[in-house]
Structure 1
Amino acid sequence: MGTPVRLQRYLAAAGVSARRKAEEMITAGRVTVNGKVTTVLGTKVDPDSDQVEVDGEAVVALDTFYVVFNKPKGCITAVTDDRGRPTVMDYLPNLPVPVKPVGRLDFYSEGVLLLTNDGELAARLLAPASHVPKTYHVKVHGQLSLDEVKLLRKGVQLDDGTITMPADVQVLPGESKHTWLAITLHEGKHRQIHRMLEALGYRVDKLQRVAFANLTFLDLRIGDARELDQHELNELRDMVGLDHSAVARGTWRSDREATDMPRRARAKARAEAEAERGPDDADLDMIADEDSPRDEVFDDAAPPDGDRDDDAPAARSSRAPVARGSS
């Protein structure tokens, strides 16, 4: 006999959903335990002996698994796509358990992306109250003054009237005729960095997420991924008030070369399909990934205005944060 756990936690551990969404499933009568509908929150189940189903499908709590991925541009943040668009999973073969992205980076964005089947951790990381830091390198079209940089740090009024939280904003050294910034946010408003710069009369030329919480893409080229180690996971859980009961082995890794041939085959098949459909429809499919299935991504904690990271084209880099270049 195993240690009894609350049903909503069991569902979150199984990667069904974040705990809050699991509670909604339970109260809606969608969950059965040993063949009986259970609607009482706080019901405990034995992972070793009880049979749990959601909507008639068996649910088994798998070992938790945590992957950091250096996402390239040109793929959507989803597990699958009914339009045949490339997804981040095209770069992650032979995963021992199914995982989902935590939050989103849009089709043209690059950088650090966490994937896991730990619904509880994902929900905590995405909750606005957690204020998880996310750091970006940003190439601004033009030169910002020091006063404008101070405004970004203090908070600027966006086009919808909201004012951004204080941010850590540093000017990166270099010889470029355009300003390069390192911006760390503790919130995730829709296209926030673009809108912050637009509020000052500038546009973003390049953007790349270089850190999410304590995770960076150090030693990961664009398109490479690896499993977190125990120290990284413990730090991540500490940031959102979770214990150290989860395990990360740090042994799994995927290099982008391992997926080159299947990705090229899928790209060829898609190109042939697009040729039959016409370029306009294909372009719309590639740009619009906001409507990818919501159960493909952990984003249950996102507020209506979009607590996600879906900014535009990213600076090409495969190393940890570096000083800006000369472009």
Structure 2
Amino acid sequence: MERLQKILANAGVASRRKCEELITAGKVTVNGEIVKELGVKADPAVDVIKVAGKPIKQESKIYIMFNKPKGVITSVSDDKGRSVVTDYLKEIKERLYPVGRLDYDTEGLLLLTNDGDLAHKLMHPSHHVAKTYHATVERVPHGNALEKLQRGIKLEDGMTAPADVEYHDIDPDGKFATISITIREGRNRQVRRMFDAIHHPVIRLKRISFGGLFLNNLQRGKHRKLSAEELRKLHEAAEESVPKEDSKES
């Protein structure tokens, strides 16, 4: 027996958070009965579970690494007709959902999957999954400015956690620098706001690593399936990132 939202997420219906919204909205039935409580458990091998009147089906799990270009929305659809990440994966038949998001102007490593349980763990509010970016910023920050980011810097929504920061590339004329920064939080536009706070606005932002996985030579706009070893690393990162009571959920 598993919690209903976990069953739905594992079936590729949506992220676990969205599945919870579907349940509370009365869109889910178990054996013909509407379920609106999140604590209800079911057995997908025995119970008939439907969403909006349609039975769920257990899809095979798929895990994709995608090199998101700048100017693409991290979503499966957009009511304004803008390009979304799934436009680049149309040959994949399974329903895919992004693990977290990258801003419209940010490029680089984005994971997509129909494994809602794993995605939930990786995106948990108290997670500490490492994410590394190459941030090209205006001018060259002095070492003491980078030390502020390393210690944690105050933003409008509170202090950031300590970050790993080092120079990656420096323009000989001092017009810009590319900084490697690793954070373990998931605030909105966090990296950009951190560099704004030290008065070195970001010109270009690219995520090169997530949860121990690296973009390496994957070309912009291209995708590939994760290897078994990469998936193992991702599961390890997910289990380490979630409080014990959550990771033990049946």
Is TM (by shorter chain) over 0.5? yes
Residue identity opposite 1:228 in structure 2: L
> What is the Cα deviation at residue 9 of structure 1?
2.1
The reply on whether 1:88 has 2:85 as its aligned counterpart is yes
Aligned 1:127-166 pairs, distance under 5 A: 127-158=124-155, 160=156, 162-166=158-162
SS in 2 for 1:63: coil
Q: Identify the residue that residue 207 of structure 1 maps to in structure 2.
A: 205
**Residue-by-residue CA offset, 1:19-39 (whole Å, 9 max, x unaligned):** 455345445543212222245
Which of 113, 118, 122 is equivalent to 2:119? Answer: 122
Q: Check whether the contact 1:165–1:187 (CA below 8 A) recurs between aligned residues.
A: yes
Q: Secondary structure at the match of 1:172?
A: strand
1:120 Cα deviation from its structure 2 partner: 1.0
Contact 2:133 2:207 in 1 (8 A): yes
**1:78: which partner in 2?**
75
- Cross-structure match for 1:11: 8
Which residue number in structure 2 is paired with residue 57 of structure 1? 54
Q: What is the identity, as a one-letter code, of the residue corresponding to 2:7?
A: Y
Q: Which residue of 2 aligns with 1:183?
A: 181
Higher strand share: 2
* 1:98 aligned partner: 95
CA positional deviation for 1:114: 0.3
CA deviation string 1:176-197 (max 9, x = no partner): 4222210001112222122112
Structure 2 portions without partners, runs of 5+: 241-250
Identity %: 41
Q: Hey, what's the Cα distance between the residues in 1 that align with 2:170 and 2:20?
A: 51
1:1-327 equivalent positions in 2, closer than 5 A = 5-23=2-20, 25-26=22-23, 29-39=26-36, 41-47=39-45, 49-158=46-155, 160=156, 162-176=158-172, 177=174, 178-241=176-239
**Letter in structure 2 aligned against 1:162:** G
SS at match of 2:120: helix
**Is contact 1:52-1:60 (8 Å) kept?**
no
TM norm structure 1: 0.67
Range that drifts further, 11-20 or 215-224: 11-20
State the distance in 2 between where 1:73 and 1:5 align. Answer: 39
Give the number of equivalent residue pairs. Answer: 237
SS in 2 for 1:195: helix
Please, what is the CA RMSD of the aligned residues?
Answer: 2.1
**Deviations 1:94-148, CA, capped at 9 Å, x for gaps:** 1031101111112222100000111111111111211111111011211211111
Contact map agreement 1:68 1:226 (CA 8 A) in 2: yes
Residue of structure 1 equivalent to 2:247: none
What amino acid maps onto 1:9 in structure 2?
K
Question: Which of the pair has the greater relative contact order for Cα pairs under 8 Å at 6+ separation?
Answer: 1
Tell me the CA shift for residue 79 of structure 1. Answer: 1.1
CA 1:34–1:69: 2 relative to 1, 3 Å: same
SS of 1:97 mapped into structure 2 = coil
Note the alpha carbon deviations across 1:65-118, whole angstroms, 9 max, x for none: 110000111221111222221111121131031101111112222100000111
**Length-normalised TM-score, structure 2:** 0.86
Q: Closer, same or farther in 2 for the Cα pair 1:67/1:143, shift >3 Å?
A: same
Aligned equivalents of 2:232 and 2:32: distance in 1?
36
Provide the C-alpha distance between the structure 2 equivalents of 1:110 and 1:23, rounded to a whole number of angstroms.
30
Contact 1:69 1:226 survives alignment (8 Å): yes
Unpaired runs of 5+ residues, structure 1, are 243-327
Residue of structure 2 in register with 1:245 after alignment: none
With 121-130 and 19-28 compared, the bigger mean Cα shift is at 19-28
What amino acid is aligned across from residue 191 of structure 1 in structure 2?
Answer: R
